[in-house]
Amino acid sequence: MTTLSLPDEIDHVGLTDSRFTVPGIRCAGCIAKIERGLQEVDGVDAARVNFSAKRVAVRHDRSLDAETLVAALGRLGFEAQSAATNPLGQDDIESRTLLRAVAVAGFGMMNIMLLSVSVWSGAGGVTRELFHWLSALIGLPVVAYAGRPFFSSAVMALRHRRTNMDVPISIGVLLATGLSVYETATGGEHAYFDSAVMLLFFLLVGRALDSTMRNKTRAGIGSLLSRMGKSARVVAPDGSTKSVAAEDLSPGMLMLVAAGEALAADGVIEEGRSSIDNAMLTGESIPQAVGFGDAVHAGAINMGDPIRVRVTAASSDTVIAEIARLMDEAGQSRSYYVRIADRASRLYAPTVHTLALLAFGGWMIAGVGLHQSLVIAIAVLIITCPCAMGLAVPAAHVVASGVLARRGLLVKDGSALERLAEVDIALFDKTGTLTIGEPVPEIRHLSRERKSIALALAQSSRHPLSRGLARALEAEGVTPAVVCSLSETGGTGICGSWGVTRVALERTEILGGGLSSTLRIGKDRVDIQFLDPMRPDVVETLHALKTCGIDSRILSGDRQMSVNALARELGITSAAEMRPEAKLTLLYALGKEGHRPLMVGDGINDGPALAAAHASIAPSSASDVSQQAADAVFLGRGLMPVALAVEVARRTMRIVRQNFGFAIAYNVVAVPLAIAGLLTPLIAAIAMSLSSLVVVGNSLRLARDTKHQPT
């Protein structure tokens, strides 16, 4: 087995590390296949798959470049993309800091509790003093370390003259610690290090849960512009060519685009005929034939012969850059959404401060002395400390996202669940969303011999139709025939010789008959029809959404005819031939009418709509961009996770509201007791922990209820 720890600088042996995002890693077999397969590539020292992040780290010779490795992964059957060199995103660092803080707080809590128990059970005199000093020795560094996430956030809020949940927490913890140090130094009876550290521990657990969940699905997603061609060969007037970086291209230049290259700018074809893969822009997986005068867009991949393209728009003016900008802007509006916990804390924090201050002032006036008044104020701060509140939301979200993950839906963050619960209309893209998005061939009429020849031909081509055919044949257990001297001509097909017979798999000449290929064996020809079948449970899913009170519509960039046919079959309304801007406009219009639309789509052309919708879901077969823009990603061939997501999200919000209800009820009972001076900080800390447990327990019901549900 290969093991690989990855220090960042390993110059000395001429090796370097590269990382690739490989969304197709699904099982142990994939891990083994990739790690073994890459090891056989010359110049690769070691490869290690990170299954959770769907990433592969490769240590390889400097002479090997990323494209070679991507191609090697492609040959192994995995689509890969070069990922940023820095393996740790900002989010990752945050959740690591939180985990460390949890560990430190847990360590401190256990040890201080150990000491405190003996103090409560009546240790006195020198022993008590010694234990207090020991507690201080453990407690001070622990508070200083584990409290940082709260302190820094509180300071940030105060600096902007705002207040948040972290302000009362910080004040409570610092006051309790300060008072305990004073008590310890003066040989007093009580020290509250235990309360302070316990509080930090429970709060940190809530934060860490929240952050872990957020990171889980965000990992390993590439960015939009990385797909665009990075450079182009530009033909000078004298006929010589030179490579020009994408951002230096300008309108009027003539690009030479070789087969397999991605276009670096928008343009019009001046010379040559070819087929281009426009999947990036349209989501359409079938290459489009193009010739003189046709417009082509950056990001499209030339599948056939070399073409010469006159640049009409470059870098930030290209259609794909425009989509990126639309997405960015659309995403902004969503960030105005205020999470329920923040809404609660806006009211909560000032109330808590006022109450604590009032309690302190009241008892001072009542004349119990500074010390007693402070203890009461601390008890109020601790008991109202939003532990149950802090856990109310993340605990329910973590359980819900776990439930959904088991059913094949990955939710990106908690706010996504909240928004999913609120949707009231669902908009579906057609190709790749309602349909599976990959061509499935009709192969029943083929004989055994034909099947094995077809497989031999299809498996050596990267054309989407060939790949679909190869997949279907392999699934039937067909073994490929021996076909040699294979050669592929872009736009036409692939041919070779089977014994002495010429065989070929090529484009069907009669157009308008949908998707099909022709298999030619000698003089014998047979057509293979391809269909893009609907996902198997579309009807059930739409029905389930309907019972949740959600109407569905189709919103597609596809042709009117095929969209209408599908809409009629499903009995829902549709809008066809929608450009990305049109989809956006429609979403905004729906928003204005007071609707909260759920967008389900996969193509890059759906990207802006996914970002703008109140909530959005993309299939895992979607482009990276769409997966990044969407709130959730569903796996597998079924569409049911979409309906399930809405249902679970709604149940989650019910649980969250119950949790809040409980937390508020608990405060209503406990706060007056604390203000009345009946609770010491220790009892307050215990009560607070108990309330947290109730909230966590309530959230766990979510998992149980869902388990009992018939699927």
Partner 1 sequence: MNVLAYLIPVALAFGGAGLAMFFWAMRNGQFEDLDGAANRILIDDEEPKE
Which residues are identified as catalytic? 429
Residue 288, H or E segment? strand 288-290
Contact pattern from residue 131 through residue 170 relative to partner 1, giving x for each residue in contact according to CB under 8 A and a dash for the rest = ---x---x--------------------------------
**Cβ of residue 29: shortest distance to partner 1, in angstroms?**
8
Q: For the CA atoms of the chain, what is the radius of gyration?
A: 31
**Residue with Cβ nearer partner 1 (1 or 484):** 1
Strands 501-507 and 515-521: antiparallel
Strands 551-555 and 524-531: unpaired
Structure tokens at 62: 């400097």
Binds partner 1 by CB under 8 A, chosen from 38, 41, 47, 49: 49
On the 0-12 / 13-18 / 19+ scale of CB atoms within 10 A, 94 is: middle
Alpha carbons 50 and 321: distance in angstroms, whole number:
31
CA torsion 609-610-616-620 (nearest 10°) is 140
**Cβ of residue 618: shortest distance to partner 1, in angstroms?**
21
Binds partner 1 by CB under 8 A, chosen from 70, 114, 259, 686: 114
**Residue with Cβ nearer partner 1 (208 or 382):** 208
What are the backbone dihedrals phi and psi of residue 677, each rounded to the nearest 5 degrees, phi first? 80, 20
Place of tokens 């996770």: 641
**Residue with Cβ nearer partner 1 (7 or 367):** 7
User: Among 590, 639, 635, 637, which Cα is nearest to 615's?
Assistant: 590
**Residue with Cβ nearer partner 1 (123 or 486):** 123
Contact region with partner 1 (CB under 8 A), list: 51-59, 162-170, 228-236, 372-380: 51-59
Q: Examine residue 28 and tell whether it contacts partner 1 (CB under 8 A).
A: yes
Q: Examine residue 52 and tell whether it contacts partner 1 (CB under 8 A).
A: yes
**Residue with Cβ nearer partner 1 (2 or 560):** 2
Write down the H helix ranges in 65-124: 66-75, 90-120
In this structure, are residues 486 and 466 in contact, taking their beta carbons and an 8 Å threshold? no
Contact region with partner 1 (CB under 8 A), list: 28-36, 240-248, 504-512, 673-681: 28-36
Look at residue 138 and give its three-state secondary structure. helix
Look at residue 337 and give its three-state secondary structure. coil
Alpha carbons 388 and 391: distance in angstroms, whole number:
5
In this structure, are residues 326 and 608 in contact, taking their beta carbons and an 8 Å threshold? yes
Binds partner 1 by CB under 8 A, chosen from 15, 31, 575, 664: 31
Structure tokens at 400: 């819900």
**Residue with Cβ nearer partner 1 (10 or 295):** 10
Binds partner 1 by CB under 8 A, chosen from 7, 9, 27, 668: 27
**Residue with Cβ nearer partner 1 (133 or 337):** 133
Place of tokens 């470059």: 314
**Residue with Cβ nearer partner 1 (205 or 281):** 205
Alpha carbons 607 and 658: distance in angstroms, whole number:
35
> What residues contact 525, with CB distance under 8 A and at least 6 apart?
518, 519
Contact region with partner 1 (CB under 8 A), list: 111-119, 240-248, 272-280, 643-651: 111-119
- 437: phi > 0 → left, psi -120 to 50 → alpha, else beta; which? left
Q: Examine residue 5 and tell whether it contacts partner 1 (CB under 8 A).
A: yes
Strands 632-634 and 615-619: parallel
**Cβ of residue 77: shortest distance to partner 1, in angstroms?**
16
**Residue with Cβ nearer partner 1 (102 or 301):** 102
Q: Examine residue 107 and tell whether it contacts partner 1 (CB under 8 A).
A: yes
Contact region with partner 1 (CB under 8 A), list: 106-114, 343-351, 444-452, 549-557: 106-114
Any idea what DSSP says for residue 480? Answer: P
Q: Examine residue 461 and tell whether it contacts partner 1 (CB under 8 A).
A: no
Binding-site size, partner 1 (CB under 8 A): 28
> What residues contact 582, with CB distance under 8 A and at least 6 apart?
none
Q: Which residues pair with 619 in a beta bridge?
A: 634
CA atoms within 13 A on the CB side of 331: 16
Contact region with partner 1 (CB under 8 A), list: 44-52, 59-67, 408-416, 566-574: 44-52
**Cβ of residue 52: shortest distance to partner 1, in angstroms?**
5
**Cβ of residue 53: shortest distance to partner 1, in angstroms?**
7
**Residue with Cβ nearer partner 1 (482 or 678):** 482
**Cβ of residue 103: shortest distance to partner 1, in angstroms?**
5
In this structure, are residues 503 and 453 in contact, taking their beta carbons and an 8 Å threshold? yes
Contact region with partner 1 (CB under 8 A), list: 31-39, 229-237, 315-323, 444-452: 31-39
Q: Examine residue 620 and tell whether it contacts partner 1 (CB under 8 A).
A: no
Structure tokens at 207: 């934060």
**Cβ of residue 594: shortest distance to partner 1, in angstroms?**
41
Q: Examine residue 690 and tell whether it contacts partner 1 (CB under 8 A).
A: no
Contact pattern from residue 240 through residue 269 relative to partner 1, giving x for each residue in contact according to CB under 8 A and a dash for the rest = ------------------------------
Contact pattern from residue 86 through residue 105 relative to partner 1, giving x for each residue in contact according to CB under 8 A and a dash for the rest = ----------x--xx--xx-
In this structure, are residues 629 and 607 in contact, taking their beta carbons and an 8 Å threshold? yes
Structure tokens at 367: 């004349």
**Residue with Cβ nearer partner 1 (110 or 236):** 110
CA torsion 642-643-647-649 (nearest 10°) is 20
In this structure, are residues 429 and 606 in contact, taking their beta carbons and an 8 Å threshold? yes
**Cβ of residue 478: shortest distance to partner 1, in angstroms?**
16
Q: Examine residue 316 and tell whether it contacts partner 1 (CB under 8 A).
A: no
Q: What count of residues does the chain have? A: 711
Q: Residue 391's Cα: distance from chain center in Å?
A: 22
**Residue with Cβ nearer partner 1 (29 or 513):** 29
In this structure, are residues 349 and 167 in contact, taking their beta carbons and an 8 Å threshold? yes
**Cβ of residue 51: shortest distance to partner 1, in angstroms?**
3
User: Among 223, 224, 373, which Cα is nearest to 298's?
Assistant: 224
In this structure, are residues 505 and 443 in contact, taking their beta carbons and an 8 Å threshold? no
Write down the H helix ranges in 56-89: 66-75
Binds partner 1 by CB under 8 A, chosen from 21, 81, 111, 435: 111
Contact region with partner 1 (CB under 8 A), list: 45-53, 255-263, 298-306, 482-490: 45-53
Binds partner 1 by CB under 8 A, chosen from 16, 50, 68, 250: 50
Q: Examine residue 127 and tell whether it contacts partner 1 (CB under 8 A).
A: yes
Largest CA distance in the chain: 109
**Cβ of residue 87: shortest distance to partner 1, in angstroms?**
9
Binds partner 1 by CB under 8 A, chosen from 53, 478, 586, 642: 53
Contact region with partner 1 (CB under 8 A), list: 43-51, 473-481, 523-531, 586-594: 43-51
Q: Which residues bind partner 1 (CB under 8 A)?
A: 1, 5-6, 27-29, 31-32, 36, 49-53, 96, 99-100, 103-104, 107, 110-111, 114-115, 127, 130, 134, 138
